[in-house]
Structure 1
Amino acid sequence: CQANYSAASHPEFAKQPEQVRNFLLYKHCRNFTVLQDVPLDKCAQPVFLLLVIKSSPANYERRELVRRTWGRERQVLGVQLRRLFLVGTAPDPLEARKVNWLLELEARAHGDILQWDFDTFFNLTLKQVLFLQWQETRCSNASFLLNGDDDVFAHTDNMVAYLKDHDPSRHLFVGHLIQGVGPIRIPWSKYYIPKIVTQEEKYPPYCGGGGFLLSQFTATALRRASSALDLLPIDDVFLGMCLEHEGLKPTRHNGIRTSGVQTPSARVPSFDPCFYKDLLLVHRFLPYEMLLMWDALSQPELSCGKRTQVY
């Protein structure tokens, strides 16, 4: 994809950090080579919940723990779960060669790697847009989607129980709702968005990108909107923009905690499985913590009292 050098004529262009300049030069690029794809039969059977997990190329340990725990492809309450990881490429060419080899091995072993040949400041937004395009032809029969990071703990059994009360042909987009915030104009911030990128001073409501659930209907609406809107480097905000474009709204789900779990007292350890047994998703977990929590919640004798209510 060739750079759009007309963006460089803007009087504020030269003052921007390198990643913002690159975003402005390449934000029109939406076609990238697929390096790894999942088998054609990934969605051959009806999929109730498709687990769509954003992962960095080198995060092998995280992907392995997801496969062994909440992301295991299986039936829950009589419906099918399927899994795939969305991956770009490593920024350093030597590292990219190594991790691309790793991802090729993973793809052969597990059939769950969807990788494109890009490494940009707006990787996460591109993953969302390219996945929606891929899904239209390869997995449009998925009733619901979990869109999350590879460092979340997802209680997928609880998700299925919750989603069974919903209609995939109606709007659903739930997570940790964020509203009333706008672009950060401080140049040294990770989330810096200058006015050259957007003049808007307030973002539409959106759900934190660590993890959220959506329906088949809403995925189709997002795909339609994403092709009509200019990209934004912050992926969760961009999806909020897409929802607004379609006249839809995200909603809050108290069981999705992308900012972690708060305990009733500082003296109570937050890693007690009883805090997590009724939740849907919590961000962030180390790989070994994910394994421990999955094992703890799988124990039939787990007993919890009122002291482990979360807030």
Structure 2
Amino acid sequence: MRLRGRIAYKCLTLIVVAVIILLVCIDYFAPNAKRDEFLTHLPPLERDVSQEQAAPQNIETDSKLNRLVNLTDFKYEISNNVCRKNDKGLLAIIIVTSYAGHDELRAAHRLAAPQSKLAEMGMQRIFLLAALPTKEKYITQKQVLDEQQRFGDILQGNFQEAYRNLSYKHVMGLRWAATDCPNAKFIIKIDDDIIYDVFHFRRYLESLEVQQPTLIASQAYLAGYVLNARPPVRNVANKWFVSEQEWPRTT
């Protein structure tokens, strides 16, 4: 079963690479083709999938990881100064939350959009990792360090890799972007299993600077798909479980 899982993971990685490359090729070779609108409005969900009972796979069950943690002793296991190396201001810094063991997905991102190409477009990309769990079998800290030595695009915190620790990873990435990339006009946050079009990113952000300069100058612009007035998930077996301690309100 483990071998079958690894094969399926590699197949998924190849599919992600192929789709990303296809999007880039379409954008590059068809500049005059009809463009979609910059923002796609997603339809409302027909059912509330957040409350489904099926327990997801690969959820960390260690009770220590389900407690709120005050990261007073936070530090970087791997720091990064990719923005400080850039003399010019950046249009955007892309921060990608990535599980440390997802080295193949990170490789897919680099293959589809190399850092050199992003630099030409006024962007930089960084992968946000946490400390390897003791049970990690597919990658070692030395391999992560070697990956950073080769590509220079990893930022790693000292909290443990776990789904319940994603919020800390988000805060780490945002804090790093705010302090180490002060000249970046935009921060783009995505996951490592997301397919994205960097050319679309650039067109959209540049259009905002032209069409809504006052909003952009206010430093209060935040874009995303908003789930409005949703109740928190109280089912402990659910991937998105939120305890009363974390959020006592009903919406």
TM-score, scaled relative to structure 1: 0.53
Q: Give the structure 2 partner of residue 113 of structure 1.
A: 154
Instruction: Return the alpha-carbon distance in structure 2 between the equivalents of residues 86 and 93 of structure 1.
Output: 20
Match of 1:159 in 2: 201
Q: Which runs of 5+ in 2 are unaligned?
A: 1-59, 210-215
1:74 matches 2:117: yes
CA contact (8 A) 1:54 1:85 kept: yes
Structure 1 residues not aligned, in runs of 5+: 1-16, 203-311
CA positional deviation for 1:144 = 0.9
Cα distance in structure 2, aligned partners of 1:36 and 1:60: 16
Structure 2 distance, partners of 1:44, 1:31, is 32
Question: Residue 62 of structure 1 aligns with which residue?
Answer: 105
- Structure with the larger helix share: 2
| CA 169–141 in structure 1, closer or farther in 2 if over 3 Å, else same | same
What do residues 184-218 of structure 1 show as CA deviations (whole Å, max 9, x unaligned)? 1122212122323321110xxxxxxxxxxxxxxxx
Per-residue CA deviation, residues 41-79 of structure 1 (Å, 9 max, x unaligned), is 344431112111010011111001101113644258x74
Match of 2:127 among 62, 85, 93: 85
Partner of 2:165: 123
Contact 1:50–1:83 (Cα < 8 Å) also in 2? yes
Query: For residues 2-81 of structure 1, what are the structure 2 equivalents within 5 Å?
Result: 22-24=65-67, 26-39=68-81, 41-70=84-113, 72-74=115-117, 79-81=121-123
Q: Which residue of 2 aligns with 1:190?
A: 239
Q: Paired residue for 2:249, among 185, 200, 217?
A: 200
CA RMSD of aligned residues (A): 2.6
- The amino acid that maps onto 2:187 is L
C-alpha contact (below 8 Å) 1:184/1:193 kept by paired residues: yes
- 3-state DSSP of counterpart to 1:64: helix
Amino acid paired to 1:132: L
How do residues 227-266 of structure 1 correspond to structure 2 at under 5 angstroms?
none
Number of residue pairs the alignment of both structures matches: 183
| SS, match of residue 175 in structure 2 | helix
Give the 3-state SS of the residue equivalent to 1:82 in structure 2: strand
1:179, distance to aligned residue in structure 2 (A):
1.2
